[in-house]
């Protein structure tokens, strides 16, 4: 117990927010405080306000991830039912939990509920969130599912287990260069722009066959499948079926398709990976 900290180190560490307690401590100055004396009223109220703020923070954290475990259980049950209805085995449909914009605490809640496979859109965001988690959960797997800039290729190659968005020759070149430097290459999916939408990433349907063949020639068995995001306002089924037929043509086994709004349809059409964010973690702001 020191004059600067009349509550003693036990009280400070017992709060679980050591850093903030320390800042309160330094502000209080400790000028008039004697060992064992009552803290000044000012210090008492400051501590009370800090404690109230901590309770509020905690409450909002809990509110932000009310029942990730329950959502996961529900989603897994729906995946199982959809697989069964399609005459498929549930083990053949993998759930990619999409954590973009969500804090590491949400990822950890999903990890504690048994989820190991995650998807992120942006390399920068994933690089901030996932390496520390991977240190604790070594069987965690990360898929990059967002449009990939060539200047992020090296970081993506170092970070990801699967890159789902290979969609143009320039990115192939960048990934090949990055693989040489990093001494590793993740599995690759070719993203197809199944609606031929001008604003969307992915190789156009008419160019898909040639591009997939070129990727297979270059990267060999690391090219494992195809990925798509159908047009928002359309029935996704014909798009999913198109992608499934394309994968079959090229002897590719992985089909990443289906999101929170349409994953059951995707499973009926042969999806091996469904990418769900909202259904697990709630709406994004
Ligand atoms: C955000 C995102 C998802 C998840 O979308 P939800 O509708 O929240 O399930 C899936 N795939 C990609 C490529 C995404 O960007």
Q: Hey, what are 198's tokens? A: 């001008």
pTM: predicted TM-score of the whole model, two decimal places: 0.79
Where is 276: in which H helix or E strand?
strand 273-276
What's the gap in Å between 277 CA and the centre of ligand 1?
A: 6
DSSP string, 130-188: HHHHHHH-TT-EEEE-S---GGGHHHHHHH-SEEEEE-SHHHHHHHHHHHHHHT---EE
pLDDT tens, residue order, the chain (285 aa): 333 333 333 333 333 323 333 333 333 333 334 444 445 566 666 666 666 555 555 544 544 456 999 999 999 999 999 999 999 999 999 999 999 999 999 999 999 999 999 999 999 999 999 999 999 999 999 999 999 999 999 999 999 999 999 999 999 999 999 999 999 999 999 999 999 999 999 999 999 999 999 999 999 999 999 999 999 999 999 999 999 999 999 999 999 999 999 999 999 999 999 999 999 999 998
Q: How far apart are CA 193 and CA 41, in angstroms?
A: 65
Q: Does domain 66-281 have CATH number 3.40.1390.10?
A: no
Q: How far apart are CA 282 and CA 208, in angstroms?
A: 34
Question: CA-CA-CA-CA torsion for 175, 229, 225, 139, nearest 10 degrees?
Answer: 80
Mutate to test the pocket of ligand 1, among 145, 191, 202 (most ligand atoms within 8 A of CB): 145
- Which atom of ligand 1 lies closest to the CA of 165? 13
Q: How far apart are CA 249 and CA 260, in angstroms?
A: 27
Q: Hey, what are 30's tokens? A: 């400790």
Phi, then psi, of 2 in degrees rounded to 5: -115, 160
CB 231 within 8 A of CB 248: no
What's the gap in Å between 203 CA and the centre of ligand 1?
A: 19
pLDDT at residue 285, rounded to an integer? 83
Ligand 1 site residues (CB inside 6 A) read 98, 100, 121, 145-146, 229, 259-261, 275-279
Domain ranges of the chain: 9-63, 66-281
């Amino acid at each position: 117990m020191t004059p600067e900290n009349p509550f003693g180190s036990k009280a400070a560490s017992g709060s679980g927010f050591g850093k903030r307690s320390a800042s309160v401590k330094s502000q209080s100055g400790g000028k008039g405080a004697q060992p064992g004396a009552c803290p000044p009223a000012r210090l008492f109220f400051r501590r009370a306000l800090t404690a109230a703020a901590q309770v509020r923070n905690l409450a909002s954290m809990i509110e932000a991830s009310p029942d990730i475990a329950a959502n996961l259980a529900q989603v897994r049950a729906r995946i199982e039912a959809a697989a069964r209805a399609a005459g498929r085995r549930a083990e053949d449909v993998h759930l990619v939990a999409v954590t973009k914009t969500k804090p590491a605490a949400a990822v950890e809640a999903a990890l504690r509920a048994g989820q190991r496979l995650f998807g992120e859109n942006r390399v920068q965001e994933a690089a901030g969130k996932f390496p520390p988690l991977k240190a604790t959960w070594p069987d965690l797997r990360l898929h990059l599912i967002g449009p990939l800039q060539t200047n992020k290729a090296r970081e993506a190659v170092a970070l990801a287990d699967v890159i789902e968005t290979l969609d143009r020759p320039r990115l192939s070149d960048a990934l090949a260069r990055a693989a040489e430097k990093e001494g590793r290459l993740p599995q690759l999916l070719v993203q197809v722009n199944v609606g031929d939408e001008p604003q969307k990433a992915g190789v156009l349907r008419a160019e898909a066959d040639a591009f997939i063949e070129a990727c297979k020639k270059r990267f060999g068995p690391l090219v494992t499948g195809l990925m798509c995001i159908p047009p928002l306002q359309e029935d996704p089924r014909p798009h999913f079926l198109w992608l499934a037929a394309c994968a079959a043509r090229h002897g590719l086994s992985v089909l990443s398709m289906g999101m929170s709004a349409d994953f059951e349809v995707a499973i009926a059409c042969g999806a091996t990976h469904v990418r769900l964010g909202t259904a697990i973690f709630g709406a994004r702001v």
